[in-house]
């Protein structure tokens, strides 16, 4: 209540409503609050998934803290794990602004950030100086300047720079904002990519998929993962779909997240867990404890939140944990 009526109102109105500037300011404040992390209270609902022990099943989804600027603060807010990135081998500025839009009436976001990040080496240096009281996932993507044909080496470079830092790695082949990236979900390209990446580390490697794949395509991804030592799937990334939206920004290009994605993300998680034993991190449109329960009922072993966190505030993390305990 306090979050929505006071904090959110102030945040959403700040910087003339420029969503990205608000995001930057909030992240800077969070980074300053990181010393508070010694009071972290996230050890409340432990479980072991793909060989990693998680203090609780509620994670921060990739993209919110791409460069790992406020890591200890996330544990202090109760998150059971954090996924940083997506990072790329080459540092890159991302797409021209504006590129982040709140769709308030739809409790959604459209973004076309385009993997703005300081690069894998900078993240490695940052992580050398950081202690996090929760498992760390590292999301890897392809640099924009690298042609899709050379994607494998680009991902490998990032993995090698970061191979001592992550508890698991997410191969992101599902962002809609890097031209050609989603084609890496195709059988041949994905097989080559996961074979090379799984060879380079013994740590758990996961693949993050789009909600816009057909059932047949998801089945193919599952098979490639099972055949090549992938330890789990993250479902789902943002969607290119625009059904049922009413907000002014609904025609912006980019990936849609939040409430309108919930049902599709759930369906994809259920499809994967019905058709395989691969553990799944369920993500997409979780804005309440009941949404998280539905994701777990669909078969997810862990959940992640991004857009729900923006709209509902940090209290959502503990509400979900209480409900799932």
Ligand X SMILES: Cc1cc2nc3c(=O)[nH]c(=O)nc-3n(C[C@H](O)[C@H](O)[C@H](O)COP(=O)(O)O)c2cc1C
> Which residues lie near ligand X (CB under 6 A)?
61-63, 66, 85-86, 100, 109, 111, 113, 115, 139, 172, 175, 208, 237-238, 257-258, 261, 283-286, 305-308
Judged by CB, which is closer to ligand X: 36, or 217? 217
Residue tagged active-site, from 175, 183, 276, 301: 175
Say if residue 214 carries a ligand binding annotation: no
Rounded CA-CA distance 75/89 in Å is 27
Judged by CB, which is closer to ligand X: 55, or 141? 141
Q: Note whether 193 and 226 are within 8 A (CB).
A: no
Minimum distance from CB of 176 to ligand X (Å)? 10
Query: Between the CA of residue 140 and those of 189, 246, 259, 267, what are the distances in Å?
Result: 16, 33, 25, 25
Segment (H or E) for 121: helix 120-128
Q: Note whether 192 and 151 are within 8 A (CB).
A: no
Nearest Cα residue to 139 out of 228, 66, 195, 221: 66
Minimum distance from CB of 172 to ligand X (Å)? 4
Minimum distance from CB of 39 to ligand X (Å)? 26
Say if residue 208 carries a ligand binding annotation: yes
Say if residue 144 carries a ligand binding annotation: no
Judged by CB, which is closer to ligand X: 35, or 175? 175
Q: For 173-279, list the strands marked E by DSSP.
A: 205-209, 232-235, 255-258
Judged by CB, which is closer to ligand X: 56, or 175? 175
Tokens 């669909």 locate to 298
175 catalytic? Reply is yes
Rounded CA-CA distance 30/17 in Å is 19
Q: Note whether 279 and 250 are within 8 A (CB).
A: no
Q: Which two tokens stand for residue 65?
A: 């803290």
Minimum distance from CB of 282 to ligand X (Å)? 9
Say if residue 155 carries a ligand binding annotation: no
Say if residue 65 carries a ligand binding annotation: yes
Rounded CA-CA distance 154/140 in Å is 9
Per the annotation, binding residues for FMN are 62-66, 86, 139, 172, 208, 236, 258, 285, 306-307
Per the annotation, binding residues for substrate are 66, 111-115, 172, 177, 237-238
Per the annotation, binding residues are 62-66, 86, 111-115, 139, 172, 177, 208, 236-238, 258, 285, 306-307
So which residues are the catalytic ones?
Answer: 175
């Amino acid at each position: 209540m306090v979050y929505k009526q006071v904090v959110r109102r102030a945040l959403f109105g700040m910087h003339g409503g420029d969503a990205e500037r608000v995001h930057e300011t909030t992240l800077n404040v969070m980074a300053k609050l990181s010393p508070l992390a010694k009071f972290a209270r996230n050890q409340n609902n432990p479980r072991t998934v793909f060989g990693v022990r998680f203090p609780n099943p509620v994670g921060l989804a990739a993209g919110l803290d791409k460069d790992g600027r406020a890591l200890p603060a996330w544990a202090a807010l109760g998150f059971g794990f954090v996924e940083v990135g997506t990072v790329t081998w080459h540092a890159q500025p991302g797409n021209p602004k504006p590129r982040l839009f709140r769709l308030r009436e739809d409790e959604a976001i459209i973004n076309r950030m385009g993997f703005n990040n300081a690069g894998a080496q900078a993240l490695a240096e940052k992580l050398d100086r950081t202690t996090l009281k929760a498992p760390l996932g590292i999301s890897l993507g392809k640099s924009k300047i690298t042609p899709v044909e050379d994607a494998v080496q680009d991902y490998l470079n990032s993995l090698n720079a970061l191979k001592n830092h992550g508890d698991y790695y997410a191969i992101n082949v599902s962002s809609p904002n890097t031209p050609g990236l989603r084609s890496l979900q195709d059988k041949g390209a994905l097989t080559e990519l996961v074979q090379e990446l799984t060879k380079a580390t013994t740590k758990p490697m996961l693949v993050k998929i789009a909600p816009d794949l057909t059932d047949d395509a998801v089945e193919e991804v599952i098979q490639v993962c099972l055949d090549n030592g992938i330890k789990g799937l993250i479902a789902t990334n943002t969607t290119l779909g625009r059904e049922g939206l009413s907000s002014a920004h609904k025609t912006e290009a980019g990936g849609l997240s939040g409430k309108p994605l919930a049902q599709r993300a759930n369906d994809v998680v259920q499809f994967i867990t019905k058709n395989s034993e691969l553990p799944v991190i369920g993500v997409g449109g979780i804005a309440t404890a009941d949404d998280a329960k539905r994701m777990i009922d669909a078969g997810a072993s862990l959940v992640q939140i991004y857009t729900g966190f923006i709209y509902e505030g940090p209290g959502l993390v503990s509400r979900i944990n209480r409900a799932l305990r």
